[in-house]
Each structure stands twice: as structure tokens, then as C-alpha cells.
Amino acid sequence: MSWRIQFSQHGTAEVLQWQEQPDTPLAADAVRVRLQAIGVNFIDCYYRSGLYPVASLPSGLGSEGAGVIEAVGSAVQGWQVGERVAYATAPLGAYAEYQDVPPGCLLRLPEQISCEQAAAGLLKGLTVQYLLRQTYPVQAGQHLLWHAAAGGVGLLACQWARALGARLIGVVSSPAKAALALQHGAWAVIDRSCEDVRERVLELTDGQKCPVVYDSVGQASWSTSLDCLQPRGLLVSFGNASGPVEGVNLGLLAQKGSLYVTRPSLFHYANSPTALQQMADELFGLVASGQLQLQASQRLALRDAAQAHRLLQSGQSSGSLVLLP
């Protein structure tokens, strides 16, 4: 027997249950991982709340974890019991002591990266990789605007943009978060609690605005993001922390400068084992060179997953949350 977090109905963090689960036979095409650390991400809240659909209820939660291979299915090749692995694109169920994972989702952990570091930063790091390197390949010297710059994804983006020589302008919600974003490599910060984001972007870019804006906030920041773009600029909307963007008037894109909008997903970029490995190699390379730091800012016991979700959605947390079985 082992334990996991599950939910039987959609709702607030209170629907998360600490549930014992019986041992089941390992499928021939799966790998069983004994988890040592589990990543908590905003997408987990979307599945829990019902914003994103799940296959059936009750359902497990979480797609990111790191640990040690406990068993290998009879049809699986290339993986061995005892190997340290991490994953960020697995089916839901990582909030658990053990998870059976398709081998195509697995990545071997380099020696210098701990399981806790991987759980804190793999999904977020892969997200920053596809956003900065594929969705819009950022160039040295370019300005870019990044909402929620002191969050787990945002702090990695600050570091990665600095490594690329780009000028990341981070939007934050408090002086403490502004200091944190600057510490992690933001070129400049805007505290939206006391500054006008549109005006500050104009000042910081000498009236030129930004060729790209990265927005994980959604509904509350949509209009502001459009106003911070240069003509023919790209709004990358990759999250809905304040609620989904709905009722979009496409005519606004023409009025504000023939703007582009995309709503990307990691799963459409890391859509094969080869693509996933290439993205991870770049991430791990930056970590090995010291240009990128993967670390958890807060750690909670696995059974306290509901508290982790409350912290994440309250806006009070910064950096990465990790659950420990």
C-alpha cells in the first residue's frame, strides 16, 4: 500500500484528499518511480478546479516529479532499476509516493542536480525554454515584458533572459518581489501595486514598447499586455492565474498595431522524447554552467498539498513550491 493525493470533485483546494491506494501490477510499457520530490505548478490548480478537464474522477494530480526507478515493465528498454530520473510531462498522478510513468516522459538526472532541484524547476525550466527559445526566440539587447516575474516560472525567466543578454522587464506585486526579481536577473521591474505598467514600459523602452510580452496572469492583465506591445508585436498568453481571457475582440489587434497573440502549451513543444531531451539538455546545461539556479523556495509534506495550492493561488508565494513524500 502507498499514499497519494486525489480529488473526487472539482473545487477549491479543500477537495484534495490524502488517500491510501492499493498496490497494482506494473504495466509492461511503464516504469514505476519512487518519488522523492514533487513539483507544484499553477496548471495543477486548473485541473483541480475544472478549468482543464481530467479523464475521470476520482483523479490523481500533478505531472512533475523526481525520484528513483523502482521497477521496469517487461516491454521497456533502456531504463534500469535504481536510476535517478525526473519528468514533467507525465499523466496526472505525481502527487504520490509512487507513480507509474510512460518511459517517453522520463529524463535522466545529471549528477549535479538533486531530485528536489529537478522537482522545483524542471517543468518551469522547460516552460521558459520553449517560451524564450521557440515561441519567440529572444535576442540580446531586446526588451521583453514578463508578468509575475517573482513566481517560479518568472524567476527562471529572469535568469535565462539575462543569460541571453535580453532586457527583461518584470511585473511584480510588491517591493519584496521586485527585489527578488532583480536579484535573479531582471533588467528592470515594475511594481503594479504602486506603478502604472503602461507608463513605466514607455519610460523604460524610450517610447518603443516591447516586441513580445509574456503573460501568465490572463484576464486581469490582458488589456495592459496589448498596450505594452510594439506594432506587430507578439502577446504570449500562457496562463490564467486571474481567470481565462474571454470575449476577445480581434479588431483590437488591428487598432493597437496589427498585433499577434498565441496561447502555447509545453505539451505541443515537448511532443516527442527527442524534443523533450533537447529542451532538457539546454536547461541542464545552463544549470551546470551556473547561469541558472534550480531551487525550491518552500517545501511542504505531500499530505499538505492543499496548503501548497492555497499558497500558490493567494499570490503570497514566490519561487517554487515542492512537496516531499
Name the packing angle between helices 273-288 and 115-130 (round to 10°): 110
pLDDT for the residue numbered 295: 84
Query: What count of other Cβ atoms lies within 10 Å of the Cβ of residue 187?
Result: 18
pLDDT for the residue numbered 24: 92
| Domains (range + CATH), the chain | 2-121+273-324 (3.90.180.10), 129-266 (3.40.50.720)
Stretch 61-89: mean pLDDT: 97
Read off the pLDDT of residues 162-202 as tens digits, 9 standing for 90 and up: 999 999 999 999 999 999 999 999 999 999 999 999 999 99
Query: What count of other Cβ atoms lies within 10 Å of the Cβ of residue 115?
Result: 21
Residues 6+ apart with CB under 8 A from 152: 41, 120, 121, 124, 297, 319, 320, 321
DSSP 134: I
In whole angstroms, give the CA distance from residue 236 to residue 250: 15
Average of per-residue pLDDT values in the chain: 95
In whole angstroms, give the CA distance from residue 157 to residue 32: 32
pTM as predicted: 0.91
